[in-house]
Amino acid sequence: MNPNPWLLAIRPKTLPAAVAPVLIGTAMAYGDGVVHWPSALLCLLGALSIQIATNLINDYCDFKKGADTPDRQGPLRVTQAGLIKPQTVLSAAILLFALAAFGCGLLVIRAGYSILIVGIAAILSGIFYTAGKRPLGYLGLGELFVFIFFGPVAVAGTYFVQSMELNWAVVAAGLGPGFLCMAILDVNNLRDMDTDRMAGKMTLAVRFGRSFACSEYLLCVLGATISPFIVHLISTDHGWVTIACLAGFGAIPLMKTVCSTLDGASLNRVLAKTGQLLLIYSVLFSAGWVLCQS
């Protein structure tokens, strides 16, 4: 049975990148006794809306710029395949960005205009990742913006709208999901190196080659594994968060695959499993933080 084209367009295997930082930020707020569930749900709604909208606009813009061709090794893109009309995909992306903006507006009422700035920046980053004359993804800036907005900004923002305060432990807690989101994008760019190069999409993998992309993946996993210890050092009394480093063991076979093959199907599996690893990491970290307050 052929999957629903909208399910293909949404790219569910990338959605842990949106869920994980919100889960961590909310767990930290819950553990600290400052959880505010309506704000947490709005953060989740906003994160998922921006992630899905970004996937849709990437589908549309990469098709328009010629980055998606029949030779593409990644999951089927609905615009290039003719499954959904380009204008329909674009309209859906705009609708979801508008939904994220609405949720951000509600959070501004509670947490102030600093959240408005963060929300606008996140939405613009999603739009201009592939849109515009000089899109971020085509300049090799994708990993940087993914790390920032799906890492420290997402975790700290989720915590702040609930607690109305910030601390360095919360900011540091965003390092883990930020690194693993970078790893997901790195695998995506490694898989698409050839077609991206032909389309002028100068990702870091295209600019610096396969060895660099392999090293980037290894360093991202290492960074995520070390991050819980940094949080523990800052907070001094949350040793249980270090159980999240166990997720790093699950990355060992993935690292071997990344460094040994350019087969599209194999890298697609690594991408999906890295997303699962991100979700496992966030659950372990969240459980560790809450356990320390029990």
Structural domain boundaries enclosing 226: 5-293
pLDDT digit string (tens) for 124-170? 999 999 888 889 989 999 999 999 999 999 999 999 999 999 999 99
The number of domains in the chain is: 1
Q: H/E/C letters for each residue in 212-279? A: HHHHHHHHHHHHHHHHHHHHHHHHCCCHHHHHHHHHHHHHHHHHHHHCCCCCHHHHHHHHHHHHHHHH
The tens digit of pLDDT for each residue in 177-208 reads: 999 999 999 999 999 898 888 888 899 999 99
Q: How far apart are CA 86 and CA 79, in angstroms?
A: 6
Contact predicate 46/119, CB 8 Å: yes
Containing 57, the helix (H) or strand (E) segment is helix 37-65
Can you give the pLDDT at residue 128? Answer: 93
* CATH number of the domain to which 247 belongs: 1.10.600
In the chain, % helix, strand, coil (3-state, to 5) comes to: 80, 0, 20
| CB atoms closer than 10 angstroms to residue 167 | 15
pLDDT of 242 higher than 80: yes
Which SS3 state, helix, strand or coil, does residue 282 take? helix
Over residues 200-232, the pLDDT tens digits come to 889 999 999 999 999 999 999 999 999 999 999
Q: What is the pLDDT of residues 55-96, one digit of tens each?
A: 999 999 888 877 666 656 667 778 887 889 999 999 999 999
Q: What is the pLDDT of residue 72?
A: 62
What pLDDT is recorded for position 130? 87
* % residues pLDDT > 70 (the chain): 95
- Residue 287's Cα: distance from chain center in Å? 21
